[in-house]
A and B are shown apart, each in its own frame.
Chain A
Amino acid sequence: MVVDFLQLTVAGLSQGSVYALLAVGLIAVYTVRHIVNIAQGEFAMLAGIGATWLTAAGMPLIVAILVAIFSVILVAIAMERLIIARVKNLTTLFSMIVTLSVSILLQAIMLLVWGPEARGLPRFPGENLLIGGVSIRSQELWMLGALVVVGGGIMLFYEKTRWGKALRACAEQPIAARIVGISPMMASIMAFAIAGFVGAVAGVVSSPIALSLWSGGLLLGLKGFVAAILGGFSSFRAAIVGALLLGVIEAYVAGYVASGLRDGVAFLILILVLTFRTQGLVLKPTAVRV
């Protein structure tokens, strides 16, 4: 009983760390541009599928991963430069439609280039652990580790460094940000590059377990979005906690209730949070963004 429970918890935390990385990417863009990037999940799938394809072509795993991540960052920057930046009147409504259309476009390209089958990267090196009957796969440790290193790093960058603070300031005080030396254009490019980077990392570390599928990004991105909502779309910490919580709740529902209901949980939480607590898990909201 207890072992089952802990086993589900471990699975949930590792899946939650993927949601957390996506949430970090979403917030990174939102704080700078006030855009909800619906294509965030596609970054993950693109990196996963791309890396798998490269390893199948004979490239060493680590090189394939680095190439895939770098390519996705370029895709994210291209998305910002070629599409987002060119929309004249970027209202909330239009920003959603634009990122949605990019998401559809990326899905279609993945489908046409790599076909409809799900693919997975080979497992990363490492030993599986067995602690008190609970087995922890090495890949799950990689997923959690990626969150700690990459997600934590981005969080510290935004919260502690001068550049990170200037990025945040861009949305509120473009002129002040310019004084520190960041133009709104640069800030926007950086935000999308960061979103591409964390998305791609999430995609490659989860690919060996969760597999990568051309159409899988949307649902994944939405789970990241639910986590971001739990973080009030401004707090990285609250969003990461929310993402881990979401992963664990999903695992319990799949394990104890019915695996088919797993994907419904996130959206039920979404609607409940929006109804009763817009600021999510943020304890001291500075201002609720409505």
Chain B
Amino acid sequence: MTDSTAPTFVGNLTPRKRFWATNRGTVIGCSVLIVVAIIIPFTASASMMNVAVFAMIFALPAIGLSLLMGLAGQVSLGQAAFFGIGAYTHAILLTKFDFSGPVAAIAGVLAAMFVALLVGLPLMRLRGHYLALATLGLGFIVMITAREWDFTGRTTGIFGIGRPVVFGIPIDNNGLFFWFVTPFVVLGLIVALNLTHSRAGRALSAVNDSELAAESLGVSTYALRLKVLVLSAGFAGLGGVFYAYQVAIVSPQIAGFNVSVEFLLMVVIGGLGSVWGALAGAFLIEFLGEGMSELIPALIPGATGEVQLLGYGIVLVLVILLLPGGLVQATSALWRWILAKLPPRAVHTLTGDNTKTAINTVVAALPRVSAPLAPGEPILHISGLTMRYGGVVALNSVDLTVPAGTILGLIGPNGAGKTTCFNIISGALAPTSGTVKFLGRTISGRKPHVAASHGLTRTFQNLQIFSSTDVVGNVYMGRYRQGKAGVLRGMLGLQAHEQRANRDVAHDILQSMNLTDVAHEEAGALPFGRQRMMEVCRALAAEPALLLLDEPMAGLSGAERDVLAELLRRLRDAGLTILLVEHDVAQVMSLADHVAVLDDGVLIAHGEPQNVRNDPAVIAAYLGTDVDEADAELTELEGH
């Protein structure tokens, strides 16, 4: 979590060093965990051992939940439902159908994942609190079904589950069971950590920063989130399988709300979205719960029942108010404190002095673009595009064709409908009527990632940066479309080659825009103009065929404008089609091959810059009704 991003570029290292640099945390952490897990059964008391086994079992659903909360940004209040489904399936197959242990276990995990898929298919489309409450409902449904159905043994539940036997050794005490569970938890940790660092994991974290920007780079939020939900349920199902083995009886309350709350508590206390935090949280909550059920009756005479709830409630409230980052936040604060006490080492200081950086107007290496069509052929075709907001007509039957390999400037007074038009083309808005065809395919009314997957990407007037990563991380996200590794490959960590190649490209692109000096700075800390340049880099990293730029010059210095204009010309010559909305009329007139003018949602002119410039309708629309006066003002405007 606090991996210090040293300014060494990972791509320059040898493969072995690179593996170490990217997986250091995982390797060290898992080694320590394995050593501790081997020692614990020899040293812990019998009652401690019992709690430790449950902590290890509950760590699995907690890890799953932390993935869901950290990556998908969603919370499940029914993680126990998947836990229960895993446990019941396993128990029923073992006791009623005499399945072998491994087969029953796999079936248990798959059953949990299948139910998650069924629930997630409709619900992952919704945002906010809906998934939380639907999963909460699912928890009750699973519990009530188990309680009322003869097949699941009603309130008695399923019992008579035999002990597992591994290599002829019956796992019949807590120490052995601890060793039996630990390898699966370690594997689960590795899979989860790999996923957070993978292409899919980075995409999801980008979605949490800016869903619109991530989708415009080709990320299908819905599909990825659904996969994470299913995976998270798989973790819970596996936990349920072990629980059934350990307790040897499965009864309805294991799918109950209190169990879900316990899982949630583990994740929150551990640190939202942190995989290691979930493991630590599992141990903390189990021991806390154990301590509370002894402590509270001693403090408050006559207290009976689930009194540990008081402890849970207090701890949850305190953590959220005082330590919202959980154990992870506490640990990293402690770590920084220790580092500060140590004698100072040579600290890498990043040279972020922007004013002194000589801006080189000569673009070094040109980023690659894709040119699927010969120059001049129509790449984007807009017909009858209309957008109404209630009674307001933002766009009125706009027809426009953009030839490949050209720059089209879209201008117009404020409120003319430029941004609406842009948002429809990029898929962020669905039009009231009319169609947008890109490379012959209709893309209007579909999500932005559909257009992006065909090679259309954009920048934003109101910057949409991924603030949780650095500059190179932002540009690297632009490569999403070029990658292929999915969730499965990400979990197995089999995408180092692909990630490396993409990182190299990201660095090259930064170089072409003079951003190498800030490559490892936090994107949110950059000055406005450079953030804008970074967005252009990010869009170019996608190797688009059509690039939509929404006011790319706003906030740039004169020199930066020149760099960008020169870059855009050269990209155009290389075959890229560019559509830009811009307020800087002079820049548009000098840069664009064609100019289209929108006024009040109507396309009033379209043609070569000179002709549009002298069109009386344009002059009137732009600057008022008096043509002569307007002309004078337009000249003055261009003069700036």
Q: How many residues of chain A get a CB closer than 8 Å to chain B's CBs?
A: 48
Question: Which of A87, A97, A225, A278 has most B Cβ within 10 Å?
Answer: A97
Q: Chain A residues near B316 (CB, 8 Å)?
A: 97, 100-101, 104-105
**Best-buried of B130, B132, B264 by chain A (most CB within 10 Å):** B130
> With A94-B320, A111-B309, A112-B303 given, is the CB distance from A100 to B123 under 8 Å?
no
Does A274 lie within 8 Å of B305, measured CB to CB?
Answer: no
Q: Is A107 an interface residue (CB 8 A)?
A: yes
8 A Cβ contacts from A81-120 to B: 83, 86-89, 92-98, 100-102, 104-109, 111-112, 115-116
A112 touches B127 (CB 8 A): no
B129 & A270 in contact (Cβ 8 Å cutoff): no
Q: A108 contacts B128, CB within 8 Å?
A: no
A175 at the binding interface (Cβ < 8 Å)? no
Contact of B28 with A by CB under 8 A: no
A227 in the interface (beta carbon within 8 A): no
Most buried by B among A95, A225, A260, A274: A274
CB within 8 Å for A89 and B324 given contacts A102-B317, A290-B128: yes
- A289, B128: Cβ atoms under 8 Å? yes
Q: Which of A98, A111, A225, A270 contacts B305 (CB 8 A)?
A: A111
Q: Does A36 sit at the interface, judged by CB under 8 A? A: yes
Q: Does A4 contact B (CB under 8 A)?
A: no
A89 contacts across to B, CB distance below 8 A: 324
A274 and B300 within 8 A (CB): no
Among candidates B73, B133, B268, B324, residue contacting A36 with C-beta atoms closer than 8 Å: B133
Q: Is there an interface contact between A275 and B122, defined as CB atoms closer than 8 Å?
A: yes
Q: Which of B291-308 contact A (CB under 8 A)?
A: 296, 300, 302-307
CA distance A111 to B308 in the complex (A): 11
A131 within 8 A of B: no
Closest Cβ of chain B to A188, distance in Å, is 17
**Is B133 within 8 A of A225, CB to CB?**
yes
Least CB separation from B260: chain A residue:
A100
Inter-subunit contact B123/A109 (CB<8 Å): no
Q: Chain B: interface secondary structure?
A: helix
Q: Which residues of B contact A268 (CB under 8 A)?
A: 137, 141
The SS class assigned to the A binding surface is helix
Partner of B264 from A36, A100, A107, A222 at Cβ < 8 Å: A100
Chain B residues whose CB sits within 8 angstroms of the CB of A258 once the complex forms: 148
Chain B neighbourhood of A229, CB < 8 A: 133
Which residues on the A side are within 8 Å of B132 (C-beta)? 36, 93, 96
Contacts of B324 in A (CB 8 A): 87-89, 94
A98–B264 Cα distance when bound, in Å, is 12
- A97 and B129 form a contact (CB under 8 A): no
Q: Are A104 and B313 in contact (CB under 8 A)?
A: yes
Q: Does A285 contact B (CB under 8 A)?
A: no
CB within 8 A of B144: which of A86, A92, A263, A270? A263
Neighbouring A residues of B245 by C-beta, 8 Å: none
Q: Across the interface, do A270 and B75 meet the contact criterion of CB distance under 8 Å?
A: no
Contact of A270 among B69, B134, B145, B312 (CB under 8 A): B134
Chain B, residues 181-215, CB within 8 Å of chain A (1/0): the string is 00000000000000000000000000000000000
Contact with A along B265-293 (1 / 0, CB 8 A): 00010001000000000000000000000
> A124 near B: Cβ within 8 Å?
no
| Minimum distance in angstroms from B273 CB to a CB of chain A | 10
Asked whether, in the complex, the Cβ of B148 is within 8 Å of the Cβ of A260, the reply is yes
Alpha-carbon separation in the docked complex, A226 to B317 (Å): 26
Smallest beta-carbon distance A189→chain B, Å: 18
Let me know if A59 is at the binding interface, CB within 8 A: no
Note all chain B residues with C-beta closer than 8 A to A267. Answer: 136-138, 140-141
Q: What is the bound-complex CA distance between A225 and B306, given in angstroms?
A: 25
Find the A residue at minimum CB distance from B126: A290
Shortest CB distance A127–B (Å)? 37
Which residue of B is nearest A107, CB measured? B309
**Nearest chain-B residue to A264 (Cβ)?**
B144
A185 close to B (CB within 8 Å): no
Q: How far is the CB of A218 from chain B (nearest CB, A)?
A: 7
Cβ of A271 under 8 Å from chain B? yes
Please tell me if the beta carbons of A222 and B309 are within 8 angstroms of each other in the complex. no
Q: Is B119 an interface residue (CB 8 A)?
A: yes
- A176-217 Cβ-contact flags toward B at 8 Å (1 or 0): 000000000000000000000000000000000000000000
Q: Say if the beta carbon of B339 comes within 8 Å of chain A.
A: no
CB distance from A43 to the nearest CB of B (A): 16
A261 in contact with B144 given A102-B317, A108-B309 (CB within 8 Å): yes
Chain A residues contacting B430 (CB-CB under 8 Å) are: none
* A240 nearest CB across to chain B (Å): 19
B321 near A86 with CB under 8 A, answer: yes
Whether a CB of chain A sits under 8 angstroms from the CB of B58 is no
**In the assembly, what is the distance between CA of A83 and CA of B303, in Å?**
26
> Is A270 a contact of B137 with CB atoms below 8 Å?
yes
Can you list 9 A-B pairs, Cβ within 8 angstroms, ordered by A?
Answer: A36-B132, A83-B317, A93-B74, A102-B313, A104-B312, A112-B296, A260-B144, A274-B122, A290-B127
Given contacts A97-B320, A274-B130, list 9 more A-B pairs with CB under 8 A. Answer: A36-B132, A95-B129, A100-B261, A108-B310, A108-B313, A112-B296, A219-B140, A229-B133, A264-B140
